[in-house]
């Protein structure tokens, strides 16, 4: 048994198992893999490759590099034998020994416990929400303008100043920009009321992989994000808008923390202890590569 980097001629096998497992388009896999200078790793036994993962650096958190183990997948005939878990364990240890944070993105809630068994803790939260154009209860007029990756990053860092969050490398943000709708989906709302990343759009709905409101506006009303999303739906002439944003603890009692509706664990981490301040926004990751 051997855990090792894949060789160049083995990349197509990694991509095929990834696409078969998650339903991703091969073009997306290629763009992420090469844009992020990713490393493919595999669990090999008796000359057969069984499990794969893709490792890349997305940014930093509290000064430490954030390395993402992504596209973790095992061939159907090799599942149930622990190969994927051994691969995850080995890479987590390697990343942590290098002084970096290892991050995994559970594809579904049931995998949170699986990653806990392999040395990860809950790290970053996010909130999924939606708004309908018909729900807009105040007459607001919005305008949007396109941002470069660097411009988006500057607004993002300013808006998340009080929120523990991953600071993304500009290289990663550039990948997000290219992966957005027509490569033009990093948007500024008005002159700085919010920023958002348009992930998809149809005749009936649209989806933002991230919508972050200027904290000065968020202090006025907790509903401002939904109002802006409803305004965007109206502006783009669709019925509904789906969006992701940072989240927070509503209150704490003897039974534990109660999160705002729509909150979920977006990523798990190893290599750093994340303390949650009950009075603050929860640690935030963002963007739809989970």
Q: pLDDT per residue over 181-194, tens digit each?
A: 777 889 999 999 99
**Residue numbers of the domain that contains 62:** 2-104
Average pLDDT over residues 270-286: 81
- Give domain status of residue 119, yes or no: no
- Do 45 and 130 belong together in one domain? no
- Do 92 and 149 belong together in one domain? no
Confidence of residue 231 (pLDDT cuts 50, 70, 90): very high
- Do 142 and 94 belong together in one domain? no
Out of 26-30, 139-143, 145-149, 160-164, least confident range: 139-143
- Give domain status of residue 258, yes or no: no
- Give domain status of residue 80, yes or no: yes
Confidence of residue 102 (pLDDT cuts 50, 70, 90): very high
Long-range contacts of 105-110 (CB under 8 A, 24+ apart): 105/68, 105/70, 105/266, 105/267, 105/268, 105/289, 105/290, 106/265, 106/267, 106/268, 106/290, 107/22, 107/290, 109/264, 109/265
Give the CATH number for residue 232: 3.40.630.30
Q: Give me the pLDDT at residue 1, please.
A: 74
- Do 130 and 226 belong together in one domain? yes
Which of 208, 224, 245 is the C-terminal boundary of a domain? 245
- Give domain status of residue 23, yes or no: yes
- Do 50 and 142 belong together in one domain? no
Confidence of residue 268 (pLDDT cuts 50, 70, 90): very high
Which of 229, 245, 261 is the C-terminal boundary of a domain? 245
- Do 95 and 167 belong together in one domain? no
Sole residue written with tokens 């958190």: 61
* Residue 290 scores a pLDDT above 60: no
Q: What are the CA-CA distances from residue 3 to residues 11, 78, 243 (Å)?
A: 15, 15, 38
Average pLDDT over all residues of the chain:
90
- Provide DSSP, 210-275: EEEE-HHHHTT-TTHHHHHHHHHHHHTT-SEEEEEE--BEEEEETTEEEEPTTEEEEEEEESS--P
Confidence of residue 276 (pLDDT cuts 50, 70, 90): confident
Distance CA 38, CA 3 (A): 16
- Do 131 and 230 belong together in one domain? yes
Total domains in the fold of the chain:
2
Neighbours of 99 (CB within 10 A): 9
* Residue 256 scores a pLDDT above 70: no
């Amino acid at each position: 048994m051997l855990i090792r980097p894949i060789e160049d001629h083995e990349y197509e096998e990694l991509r095929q198992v990834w696409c078969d497992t998650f339903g991703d388009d091969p073009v997306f896999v290629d763009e992420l893999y090469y844009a992020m200078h990713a490393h493919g790793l595999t669990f090999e036994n008796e000359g057969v490759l069984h499990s794969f993962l893709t490792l890349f650096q997305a940014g930093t958190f509290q000064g430490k590099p954030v390395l993402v183990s992504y596209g973790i997948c095992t061939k159907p005939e090799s599942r149930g034998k622990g190969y994927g878990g051994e691969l995850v364990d080995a890479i987590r240890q390697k990343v942590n020994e290098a002084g970096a944070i290892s991050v995994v993105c559970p594809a579904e809630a049931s995998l949170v416990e699986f990653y806990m068994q392999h040395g990860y803790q809950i790290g970053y939260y996010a909130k999924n929400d939606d708004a309908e154009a018909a729900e807009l209860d105040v007459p607001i007029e919005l305008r949007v303008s396109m941002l470069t990756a660097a411009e988006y990053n500057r607004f993002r860092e300013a808006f998340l100043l009080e929120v523990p969050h991953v600071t993304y490398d500009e290289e990663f943000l550039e990948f997000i920009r290219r992966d957005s709708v027509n490569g033009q989906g990093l948007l500024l709302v008005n002159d700085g009321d919010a920023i958002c990343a348009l992930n998809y759009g149809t005749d009936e709905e649209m989806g933002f992989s991230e919508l972050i409101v200027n904290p000065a506006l968020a202090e006025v009303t907790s509903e401002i994000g939904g109002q802006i999303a409803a305004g965007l739906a109206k502006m783009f002439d669709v019925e509904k808008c789906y969006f992701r944003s940072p989240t927070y603890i509503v209150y704490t009692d003897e039974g534990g923390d109660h999160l705002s509706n729509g909150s979920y664990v977006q990523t798990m981490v190893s290599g750093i202890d994340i303390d949650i301040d009950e009075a603050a926004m929860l640690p935030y990751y963002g963007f739809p590569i989970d």
